[in-house]
A and B are shown apart, each in its own frame.
Chain A
């Protein structure tokens, strides 16, 4: 008996999951359709870029400089054991550019800008502002969603590059003032160690992350129901989903990129 109920719930949640994914894909199709037809409100995109960027920039900068500092402190100790302490600049730069900055920037971005996207659209939804848009003869996807998703796609890569520069600067501070590495040596080591491949293998991932975060968070906002409680529920759900998508897709993307570019 218990087993039957369990199976029933199990299958129900699978069906719901598949239906949810179907709806999310349909939503994405609508968004891409509007973009391909050139229905882009550039002033709205700019406004969104500003808002999303401003919201995440401080936390990402702080995390970046802290990571650069810690990586250098730890890296210096570890490399010293192998007698390779002069390689610390390269270790820090490569770690940040290939992996750390794209991933933690994406995670922070999900929690800040992504949460905002869902909460904003969700609140508009429960207050009927999205239906009202439709009733006024304006496509809510075109007016409210396309600018937000496009802004996501453009902002995150910019934040990631900024994060890499700030992280490397943090490493420089430790390297020069703590480990007494000459500044010019640290910089030349950094620049020599980063190849195009290193930069782009990390940078390409940020576009996938931005796309996944924008899609998940906008979709969850767009289907929010259940009043202000619903806004809270869907926002947490969207952020959790975005986290999972970033972490899982990062694993897959890293494997693929290393296979082709290792």
Chain B
């Protein structure tokens, strides 16, 4: 579904991503783990065309994104959901309007159908009875849930989540991780999550990728990662 090969990226001649290669299969949940500043967000932004590689290639659905036109991106983005670290909900819209936004923009559904779909998706993420509230009236965790609902409401095939648990206490971190797992299963999305939260990543990811200073230092299943003898990974795990 997603294939990244030998990706390099620098900002102002400072190398941020160095020779990054990995694959994500359809329906898989992948967690990219690494300390703050490792380049996780930069990597994720490459997968949705907010940043472009200096070198290397990215294939999505077996198509090279270097050859994408604006129109191709538009079509692809309708099939992708991106959960921003802080949700990035429109603060001038209610939760209902926020969640309905992609449907209004990209589908021909009528008012009633939109209402139904919004309520269904909001209940999937465990948000009920807050449709008429504004984002600022909700807690950070609830905002992230609403943002998640908005990200997948077009039946996204690919879901990218940037640090979904950052800024949340352990209980809410666990909750939002479970919600992401549910959503991924429900919509059968291919999911990439960045995080420095090991516990929750281990719980839901099929495979994990460990990053350090822009390079991948290990990737594999939980068991493979736990049994590695790479010093950095061992240290990171403790």
Interface residues on A, range: 10 to 19
Once the chains are docked, how many angstroms separate the CA of A135 from the CA of B87? 13
Residues of chain B with a CB closer than 8 A to A127's CB: 86, 88, 91
Residues of chain B with a CB closer than 8 A to A137's CB: 73-75, 77-78, 102, 105-106
Which among A123, A131, A136 is the interface contact of B102 at CB below 8 angstroms?
A136
* Total interface residues in chain B, CB < 8 Å: 21
Which among B50, B75, B91, B101 is the interface contact of A136 at CB below 8 angstroms?
B101
Closest to B77 in A: A137
Does any Cβ of B come within 8 Å of A23's Cβ? no
Residues of chain B with a CB closer than 8 A to A135's CB: 48, 50, 77, 80, 82
Does any Cβ of A come within 8 Å of B90's Cβ? yes
Does any Cβ of B come within 8 Å of A138's Cβ? yes
Q: Chain A 130-141 against B: per-residue CB contact (8 Å), 1 yes, 0 no?
A: 011011111000
Does any Cβ of B come within 8 Å of A128's Cβ? yes
Tell me if B105 and A128 are in contact (CB < 8 A). Answer: no
Contacts known (A127-B88, A137-B74, A137-B77); A132 close to B82, Cβ less than 8 A: yes
Tell me if A129 and B88 are in contact (CB < 8 A). Answer: yes
Q: How far is the CB of A52 from chain B (nearest CB, A)?
A: 14
Q: How far is the CB of B93 from chain A (nearest CB, A)?
A: 10
Does any Cβ of A come within 8 Å of B202's Cβ? no
Tell me if B77 and A131 are in contact (CB < 8 A). Answer: no
Tell me if B84 and A132 are in contact (CB < 8 A). Answer: yes
Closest to B82 in A: A135
Tell me if A134 and B86 are in contact (CB < 8 A). Answer: no
Once the chains are docked, how many angstroms separate the CA of A113 from the CA of B73? 34
Tell me if B105 and A129 are in contact (CB < 8 A). Answer: no
Closest to A144 in B: B90
Once the chains are docked, how many angstroms separate the CA of A123 from the CA of B91? 10
Which of A124, A129, A132, A134 gathers most chain B CB within 10 Å? Answer: A132
Tell me if B102 and A129 are in contact (CB < 8 A). Answer: no
Q: How far is the CB of A222 from chain B (nearest CB, A)?
A: 15
Closest to A143 in B: B105
Once the chains are docked, how many angstroms separate the CA of A220 from the CA of B75? 30
Contacts known (A135-B82, A136-B77, A137-B77); A129 close to B106, Cβ less than 8 A: no
Tell me if B77 and A129 are in contact (CB < 8 A). Answer: no
Which among B50, B78, B89, B90 is the interface contact of A131 at CB below 8 angstroms?
B50
Once the chains are docked, how many angstroms separate the CA of A137 from the CA of B154? 11
Q: How far is the CB of A142 from chain B (nearest CB, A)?
A: 11
Once the chains are docked, how many angstroms separate the CA of A137 from the CA of B84? 15
Once the chains are docked, how many angstroms separate the CA of A138 from the CA of B93? 16
Tell me if A128 and B88 are in contact (CB < 8 A). Answer: yes
Q: How far is the CB of A77 from chain B (nearest CB, A)?
A: 50
Closest to B70 in A: A139
Tell me if A132 and B88 are in contact (CB < 8 A). Answer: yes
Q: Report B59-87 residues with CB < 8 Å from chain A CB.
A: 73-75, 77-78, 80, 82, 84-86
Residues of chain B with a CB closer than 8 A to A131's CB: 50, 84, 88
Tell me if B82 and A129 are in contact (CB < 8 A). Answer: no
Pairs across A and B, CB under 8 Å, 18 listed: A123-B91, A124-B91, A128-B84, A128-B86, A128-B88, A129-B88, A129-B90, A129-B91, A132-B88, A134-B50, A135-B80, A136-B77, A136-B102, A137-B73, A137-B74, A137-B75, A137-B77, A137-B78
If A135-B48, A137-B105 are given as contacts, then 5 extra A-B residue pairs at C-beta distance below 8 Å, sorted by A number, are A123-B91, A127-B88, A131-B50, A135-B50, A136-B77
